[in-house]
């Protein structure tokens, strides 16, 4: 991404956008000719969700160089903020698309606010300590939303951390967020088309940010914090910028996710979801945005495509994961690749960046 001149960078970015659009076109053709199984159709929106999540996490892990293990927390904030907005404005806003677009913006904003609130204290920690604190925040967000109740009646909103009855609503009031039951009856707005558009917007924001003055500052801090400081780059500002943009985009992924479900529960956004996003980033190549897109698509589809193998599918998934990591990262494996597959792999690796 970095060692290329302007034209090459532009071409590389265009390939990434083109790939997404081509994939969309192929899916449309398959769908209209009836070649797409219902299983795969059900996967289309989740794939978009995970692509956005992976790209946003790569901004923190690959571009800013900080390990975050709590990315699902921001997705959770976005999912709930968006869904609550939708439920509250069901009558007020009659145009579905407009309401959904606003819900996505609300989700991004809410997640960004959490990104700033968490980022300010956390980003002064380093390395594995930062990782564990992000993990902790992710779990806290999940746990708190899990005991949170929101109700609405003629008198306005009611909140409680105990149970539905403690909301103290009038009989006509309705529960919006019901603790561990989460939110039910969200209008299902997410479509593959909207998902793909959101992917393109995410890519546009992330790729352009990377290839700008701010992106350079973020990457210079990643490569050498002390040198970056010595040339007058504000470490806190740029780390926080990467973290917040990333959180906002994870929030968008969350809104897309929540508007694809009938019921939304906080327990879904656990540590494993954060880890899943990290797996996409690392397998796709740390700092390689296009790689994140490809890895997220393949690895989201893989367990479902392996469904025929029934009980063995997660076993195979885990073995594939370990083998791929060893093949891609072990110094000995890289040496071997260099020797026997040499030119082919080297070239593709460079172009992929």
Cα–Cα distance between 54 and 286 in angstroms, integer?
11
Q: Does 198 bind other proteins (CB under 8 A)?
A: no
Residue in 156, 171, 232, 308 binding other proteins, rule: CB under 8 A: 232
Q: Does 92 bind other proteins (CB under 8 A)?
A: no
Question: For residues 292-311, which are near other proteins according to CB under 8 A?
Answer: 311
Site string for other proteins, 95-134 (x = CB under 8 A): --------------------------x--xxx-xx-xxx-
- Categorise residue 206: left if φ over 0, alpha if ψ from -120 to 50, beta otherwise: alpha
Residue 214 or 304: the one with the smaller Cβ distance to other proteins is 214
Residue in 173, 178, 254, 287 binding other proteins, rule: CB under 8 A: 287
Piece in contact with other proteins (CB under 8 A), picked from 90-98, 183-191, 209-217, 247-255:
209-217
Cα–Cα distance between 260 and 340 in angstroms, integer?
46
C-beta of 169: minimal distance to other proteins in Å?
22
Distances (CA, A) of 171 to 81, 87, 92, 167, 184: 25, 18, 21, 11, 19
Half-sphere exposure of 99 (CA within 13 A, CB side): 20
111 alpha carbon, distance to own chain's centre: 11
Cα–Cα distance between 54 and 41 in angstroms, integer?
21
Residue 169 or 221: the one with the smaller Cβ distance to other proteins is 221
Q: Does 154 bind other proteins (CB under 8 A)?
A: no
Q: Is 158 helix (H, G, I), strand (E, B) or coil?
A: strand
Please list the residues that pair with 153 across neighbouring strands.
156
Residue 169 or 240: the one with the smaller Cβ distance to other proteins is 240
With b for 16 or more beta-carbon neighbours within 10 A and e for fewer, the 51-72 pattern comes to bbbbbbbbbbbbbbbbbbbbbb
Q: Does 146 bind other proteins (CB under 8 A)?
A: yes
Piece in contact with other proteins (CB under 8 A), picked from 37-45, 46-54, 86-94, 140-148:
140-148
Residue 85 or 280: the one with the smaller Cβ distance to other proteins is 280
Residue in 15, 26, 144, 341 binding other proteins, rule: CB under 8 A: 144
Q: Does 223 bind other proteins (CB under 8 A)?
A: yes
Half-sphere exposure of 92 (CA within 13 A, CB side): 8
Distances (CA, A) of 253 to 71, 94, 190, 194, 240: 11, 23, 11, 11, 20
Residue 153 or 214: the one with the smaller Cβ distance to other proteins is 214
Q: Find the helix packing angle between 6-32 and 289-305, rounded to 10°.
A: 20
C-beta of 40: minimal distance to other proteins in Å?
23
Residue 35 or 347: the one with the smaller Cβ distance to other proteins is 347
Piece in contact with other proteins (CB under 8 A), picked from 35-43, 102-110, 277-285, 340-348:
277-285
Annotate 49-89 with DSSP letters as a single string.
HHHHHHHHHHIIIIIS----S-HHHHHHHHHHHHHHHHHHT
Question: For residues 56-75, which are near other proteins according to CB under 8 A?
Answer: 61, 67
Q: Contact at 8 Å (CB) between 274 and 72?
A: yes
C-beta of 226: minimal distance to other proteins in Å?
6
Q: Does 37 bind other proteins (CB under 8 A)?
A: no
Question: For residues 308-347, which are near other proteins according to CB under 8 A?
Answer: 311-312, 314-315, 317-319, 321-322, 325-326, 328-333
Residue 331 sits at the vertex; the CA angle it makes with 326 and 334, to the nearest 5 degrees, is: 80
Q: Does 205 bind other proteins (CB under 8 A)?
A: yes
Q: Does 3 bind other proteins (CB under 8 A)?
A: yes
C-beta of 215: minimal distance to other proteins in Å?
7
């Amino acid at each position: 991404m970095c060692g290329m001149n302007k034209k090459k960078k532009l071409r590389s970015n265009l390939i990434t956008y083109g790939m997404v659009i081509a994939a969309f076109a192929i899916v449309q053709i398959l769908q209209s000719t009836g070649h797409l199984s219902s299983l795969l159709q059900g996967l289309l929106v989740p794939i978009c969700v995970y692509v956005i999540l992976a790209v946003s996490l790569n901004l923190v892990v690959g571009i800013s160089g900080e390990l975050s293990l709590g990315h699902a927390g921001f997705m959770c904030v976005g999912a709930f903020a968006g869904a609550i907005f939708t439920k509250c404005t069901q009558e007020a806003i009659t145009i579905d698309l407009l309401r959904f677009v606003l819900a996505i913006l609300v989700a991004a904003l809410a997640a960004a606010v959490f990104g700033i609130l968490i980022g300010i204290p956390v980003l002064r920690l380093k390395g594995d300590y930062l990782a564990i604190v992000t993990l902790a925040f992710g779990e806290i967000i999940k746990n708190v939303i899990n005991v949170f109740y929101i109700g609405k009646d003629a008198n306005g909103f009611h909140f409680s951390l105990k149970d539905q009855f403690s909301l103290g609503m009038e009989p006509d009031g309705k529960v919006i967020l019901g603790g561990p039951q989460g939110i039910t009856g969200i209008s299902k707005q997410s479509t593959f088309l909207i998902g793909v558009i959101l992917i393109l917007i995410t890519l546009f924001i992330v790729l352009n940010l990377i290839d700008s003055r701010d992106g350079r500052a973020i990457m210079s801090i990643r490569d050498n914090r002390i040198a970056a400081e010595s040339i007058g780059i504000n470490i806190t500002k740029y780390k926080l910028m990467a973290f917040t943009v990333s959180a906002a985009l994870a929030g968008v992924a969350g809104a897309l996710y929540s508007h694809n479900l009938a019921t939304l529960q906080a327990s879904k956004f656990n540590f494993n979801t954060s880890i899943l996003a990290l797996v996409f980033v690392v397998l796709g190549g740390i700092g390689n945005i296009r790689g994140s897109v490809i890895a997220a698509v393949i690895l989201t589809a893989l367990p479902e495509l392996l469904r025929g193998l029934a009980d063995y599918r997660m076993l195979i998934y885990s073995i594939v994961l370990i083998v791929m990591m060893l093949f891609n990262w072990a110094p000995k494996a890289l040496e071997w690749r260099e020797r026997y597959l040499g030119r082919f792999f080297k070239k593709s690796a460079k172009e992929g960046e």
